[in-house]
Structure 1
Amino acid sequence: MRTPKKSAIRPTSGPSDRPADRPADRPADRPADRLADDELWDRVTRELADDLAADAPARDRAGKAPFDEVARLREAGLPALLTPPGASRRGADWKAACAVIREISAADGSIGELLAHHYGLSWTARFFSRGGKAPGAPAAFEDRTAQKRWLLAGGVEPSRTDGGEPGLTLTPADGGYVLEGRRSFASGVTVADRLVVGARCTGTGELLVVLVDPAHPAVFTDAGTDRLGQRLAGAGTVTFDQVRVAARDVLGALPRDEHAVAPFTALAPLALRLLLVHVVLGIAEGALAEARDVSRAAQAVPPPADPRTDADTEAYPMGCGEDPYLLLAYGELATAAHAAAAVVERATDALARGLLAEQALGAEERADIAVLVAAAEAVTGGAAVRITTRILELVDTVQAAPSTDGGPGFDRFWRNARTLTAQSSPAHRLRDIGDHYLHGTHPRLTLRA
């Protein structure tokens, strides 16, 4: 398995070794300390991505809980980095966090998903802090998360009880609550420091968002096994058996009536969806870049001489890299990656502006953001599946024989992309986009991802 170079985790690179589809964003009026932070984050993230890529196939085959990978994240400082910036902390802004997730996902999609869920959940108190009635609550939660370097996992959207899970309930008791129930989560619960979960209050019917320590003796976690892809994302099912939750660990409440959801609160599922789009895009870019390295290595091996057609060989000298069909294939796949990146960047910019607006965000602006996120999902999902599928064929044509250690593991890119893209229906997203474009209809305000 190769050791990735810093130009090897994107489809293309320019003279400065920065991909053409990710131009540097360095406004002249950005503070000098932010410029320094950005350079540091870029370097740290790239080094960690190279480290993860070096043994990604072996770790994927082993399929163990990602304790070692989380230790690498902590050593790099990324859990605290991906905390919303505030007066008492120096976290990443939205676009920087998305860039980190995309970079890590190119090396290891599972770990990129871990970070995506962590970052989305780190905004929980801002999204659901009871309409801003307790302005100190979000800052307090974010400070605790940053200072203690917690890795967050869980989910706050209403539980889908039609799958056999009864959902989670909170019963008022002694100034706090008792949490009970069982629920499955897609990422992080086997290695998280804290769980952020939504549960229905039995006394008021409110859906409250609470913070829980998974090390509590009444919390039981069963790791997800036999997954097609994202095997190292730390998925699992968590059972809460009468777990005490203090009042200070209630981070907010979801509106009972989804029609009454504030536009800013309705950004919560869009934020998670777009973070996962960055994971999918990173997986596609990582697959394309690694396949490119294999093809480049094949070019260095001269084609065998054909004694029967020496003249023809001299007239038409063609190595692997000069095969017009191979060049055409890479051209199509690189174009698909660039197109997806452009759509994703536009959605990322729009959501960044929406997050900055907070409670001042209007319904029209939120609708525009929802349409852009849906477009990013549709375009990137299709591109990622197409790229990772075609890569398996391209790599097979240039490798003389499989390696004895299990090979470079290109199938993991396809499996990871399929696992993530199967979670949403492209038809539903495209229908919302078409209705908005044709009739100006706003996508429904919902708290489901």
Structure 2
Amino acid sequence: MPTPSSTPAERPVEERRHALLRAARDVADDLAADAIARDQAGLPPIDEKARLGEAGLLGALTPPGPGRGADWLTGCAVIRAVSAADSSVGAVLARHYVHTWSGRFYASDHQAAALEEESLHEQWLWTGAVRTPAPDEDTRAPDLTLRPRGTGHVLNGRRSVDTAATVADQIVVDAVCTVTGDILVVRIPRGTHGVTIEPAPDRLGQRVAGAGEVVLDRVAVTPGQLLGRRPHDEESAAPFTALAEPALRLALCHVAMGIVEGALTEARDLSRGGRAHRLPGEDPDLLLTYGELASAAQTATAVVHRATAVLARALDTGSHLDAEEPASVAALVATAETVTSKAALDITTRVLELADAPGLDRFWRNARVLTAHHPVTRRLRAIGEHYLNGSHHAVAAAFH
């Protein structure tokens, strides 16, 4: 129901938000019913993509526009709800949502609007892997290259993609132009000639996310597939473009918090049902343990919510974003990553001590894979340097 203070103009937006959150909860309930079986099978997310599409989540999770899309706060709430039931599918949805913003981050307003409308109409699933500017980028050989040909380019190389590699309709990557040295961001439609996918089987966790290696052999890239330039370093990035990487990292924080919620809920239900190692009425230490875990989860949630609200305001500001603001946003996101990584790993480990049930280990495995490639020590040093010296470079370095 609309809030009493909402205006007539605000009510359709609120109604769409409530409908989208209801759809997310319905999808989560559906996914939870067979989450363990699908995790054990570890198949590409073909069926999961269909479920998201049938629920309207793929079209709904695009940037907000007149009568369509989802604002950042709503999008993150949807990602978190789905992740609590199945974090593999939550990660697919998180990367989809952030990559649908690629037009706004890198392209012109006109191109971005056209892409978003087409994505909504066609119910595209997006994924990708756009690299963060790195200090040693100029000295290492690029993994993807673009060679100009006619009015377009030819793309070669290979790139790891963490979700939906085999089923995505659009894959967004960056590549180095062999003539100009510019780093260009392009989208590759599904079925493009010269594209092959090497799936990543037998992963420890996130087994239904559809990770794989995208191999590109003389792939023709048309001018319409070129989204724009990715800066060589964070100092030269346009303020709004600089939000691309923090946005992805924060969306994945919501996936991690979904894992925490799912693990705690499942362990609690096992305890209530008498299937845990210790029963609530017989061991006061069990109450202490749940109190510690719930408090840790709520603390991480508060940090993530603060970063989410700040990033939402920055995204709403758009091209008028202040040049200093992205560094502050990135520092908050790096903090959220640090806190959620620790909470996810600690909580999913400790719930295994509370109950012994088939599939409960998937929460720890999923958390481990989701957080494995982002060392906490590096992030903490970057946060400290930003706090002490106001360094933009240090914050960007936290995302390598």
- TM-score above 0.5, yes or no: yes
Name 1:242's counterpart in structure 2. Answer: 218
- Distance, in Å, in 2 between the alignment partners of 1:151 and 1:356 is 23
Matched, 1:112 2:112: no
CA distances 1:66-124 after superposition (whole Å, capped 9, x unpaired): 1011110001111111100124x511100000000001110001001101111111111
Pair 195,257 (structure 1): closer, same or farther in 2 beyond 3 Å: same
Q: Which amino acid aligns with 2:99?
A: L
Match of 1:307 in 2: none
How far off its partner does 1:382 sit?
A: 0.5
The question of whether the paired residues in 2 share the 8 Å contact of 1:295 and 1:321 is answered with: no
Q: Which amino acid aligns with 2:27?
A: L
| Residue 284 of structure 1: how far off its partner (Å) | 0.8
Q: Is the 8 A contact 1:156 1:198 kept in 2?
A: yes
| 2:145 match | 169
Structure 2 CA distance for partners of 1:27 and 1:286, relative to 1, 3 Å: farther
Please list every run of 5 or more consecutive structure 2 residues that lacks an aligned counterpart in the other structure.
none
1:46 pairs with one of 19, 25, 31:
25
State the identity %: 52
Partner of 1:190: 166
- Cα distance in 1 for partners of 2:245, 2:233 equals 16
What letter matches 2:105 in structure 1? F
What residue is the counterpart of 1:152 in the other structure? Answer: 126
Identify the match of residue 77 of structure 1 among 28, 33, 56. 56
For residues 228-267 of structure 1, the aligned pairs below 5 Å read 228-267=204-243
- 2:116 is the alignment partner of 1:137: no
Name which of 25, 43, 52 aligns with 1:64. 43
Distance across 2 between alignment mates of 1:183 and 1:203: 21
CA apart distance, 1:275: 0.4
Contact 2:338 2:380 in 1 (8 A): yes
Alpha carbons of structure 1 residues 194 and 327: separation in structure 2 relative to 1, 3 Å: same
Q: Which amino acid aligns with 1:109?
A: S
Q: How far, CA to CA, are the matches of 1:175 and 1:364 in structure 2?
A: 37
Paired with 2:304 and 2:5, the residues of 1 have a C-alpha distance of 20
Conservation of the 8 A alpha-carbon contact between 1:183 and 1:239: yes
Unaligned stretches of 5+ residues in structure 1: 1-23, 304-317, 397-406
Kindly state the Cα deviation for residue 437 of structure 1 after the two structures are TM-superposed: 2.8
Instruction: Select the residue among 349, 355, 364 that pairs with 2:309.
Output: 349
SS at match of 2:274: helix
1:227 correspondence with 2:209: no
Write the deviation string for residues 113-162 of structure 1: whole angstroms up to 9, x where unpaired: 10111111111111112xxxx33111111111111110011112259899
Contact kept? 1:26, 1:35, Cα under 8 Å: no
- Distance, in Å, in 1 between the alignment partners of 2:111 and 2:394 is 28
Distance 1:409 1:57 in 2: 6
In the alignment, is residue 284 of structure 1 matched against residue 244 of structure 2?
A: no
TM-score norm. by structure 1 comes to 0.83
CA pair 221-341 structure 1, distance change in 2 beyond 3 A:
same
Match of residue 351 from structure 2: 391
3-state SS of paired residue (1:298) = coil
Helix, strand or coil at the partner of 1:85: coil
Tell me the alpha carbon deviations over residues 406-439 of structure 1, each in whole angstroms, 9 at most, x when there is no partner: x530110000001111121111221222223334
Shift in Å, 1:38: 1.6
- What letter corresponds to residue 219 of structure 2 in structure 1? V
Moved over 3 A (4+): 24-30, 158-162, 318-322, 438-449
- Give the paired residue count: 394
Aligned with 1:281: secondary structure? helix
Q: Distance in 2 between matches of 1:184 and 1:287?
A: 28
Q: Alpha carbon RMSD of aligned pairs, Å?
A: 2.4
Q: CA deviation at 1:319?
A: 5.1
Change (3 A) 1:243 1:347: same
Q: Report the TM-score when normalising by structure 2.
A: 0.92
The question of whether the paired residues in 1 share the 8 Å contact of 2:172 and 2:186 is answered with: yes
Q: Which amino acid aligns with 1:151?
A: L
**1:184·1:238 contact (CA, 8 Å) conserved in 2?**
yes
Query: Contact 1:211/1:251 (CA < 8 Å) preserved in 2?
Result: yes
More displaced 10-residue stretch of structure 1: 212-221 or 226-235: 212-221
Contact 2:345/2:364 (8 A) holds in 1: yes
Q: Find the counterpart in structure 2 of residue 411 from structure 1.
A: 361
Alignment-derived partner of residue 336 in structure 1:
296
Displacement of 1:232 in angstroms is: 0.8
Contact 1:370-1:443 within 8 A present in 2 as well: no
CA distance in 2, matches of 1:255, 1:25: 43
